[in-house]
Amino acid sequence: MIYIVTHKRVDLPKLKGYRAIQVGDAADSFPGCLRDNTGDNIADKNANYCELTAMYWVWKNNDDPYKGLAHYRRYFGRRALSSRVEDILSYDALVYMLDGRDILVAKPAVYHVNAREQLLMDCCAPETFDKLEAGLEALSPEYMDAFRTFFAGNRAAQYNMLFCRQALYDDYCAWLFPVLFRLEDQVDLTNANIYQKRLYGFLSERLLNVWILHNRLSAKYLPVVSTEYTRKDHLTYLRRDITNGMRFKWQQREGHS
């Protein structure tokens, strides 16, 4: 099953093998949606963990042979620059794509600075990043080479979107959440704005890449169908990625000249 995370009432595509899961603090239940506040859950952390409350619920509350996460407005697609529901990949197509591969994730975004600098620009204080690094070294020291390699680069699969076999999904969650829970005990978000409060969702987007890199997983990077984007939006982000890639390469050359 691939779970469509939503925090608001929207018309979701009706696709075999897809199931909607509601997150957030809405008092009512959306028709046809599972709730992330049932069973073993961390629903009360949604303001800080974003779609990870759904990811945790899927980890703890079912035994699907394949598990994945998409969003009410973002799905794995058959082609880039699409907003068409018809271009969303079917569940059977996603399963087929795992033949000979470990995991499916979103096509990486490209930054004009390295991943550490990009993270610090928007949503993470330097001291929080240092605590994340120290916490990972304490819990999983074997991951530190991959951590440093990823954050020195300028590409990241984002959105916490993934699709893989159950065992791999569960292994990822068993690694990820202890890292985040440890950091949560050390960070005070009281004075953060609403965007900055989504810290653990943002960090996990990056940590997924670290996990893939360390475990040398065979990953297929798929286009994302963004149903709320216009054609102009798609082209803007494509140009941004191309420009960012050029800027980063230029900065790297200048730094080593």
pTM, entire model: 0.94
Answer whether 200's CB lies under 8 Å from 180's CB. yes
- CA atoms within 13 Å, Cβ hemisphere of 44: 2
Asked if the model's pLDDT at residue 87 lies above 50, the reply is yes
Q: What is the DSSP letter of 108?
A: P
Answer whether 137's CB lies under 8 Å from 181's CB. no
Q: What is the mean pLDDT of the chain?
A: 94
Query: Residue 236 belongs to what H/E stretch?
Result: helix 231-255
Asked if the model's pLDDT at residue 150 lies above 70, the reply is yes
Answer whether 56's CB lies under 8 Å from 177's CB. yes
Q: Where are the domains of the chain?
A: 2-255
| Residue 131 to residue 135: CA distance in whole angstroms | 6
- 203-253: per-residue pLDDT in tens? 999 999 999 999 999 999 999 999 999 999 999 999 999 999 999 998 888
pLDDT of residue 251: 85
pLDDT of residue 184: 97
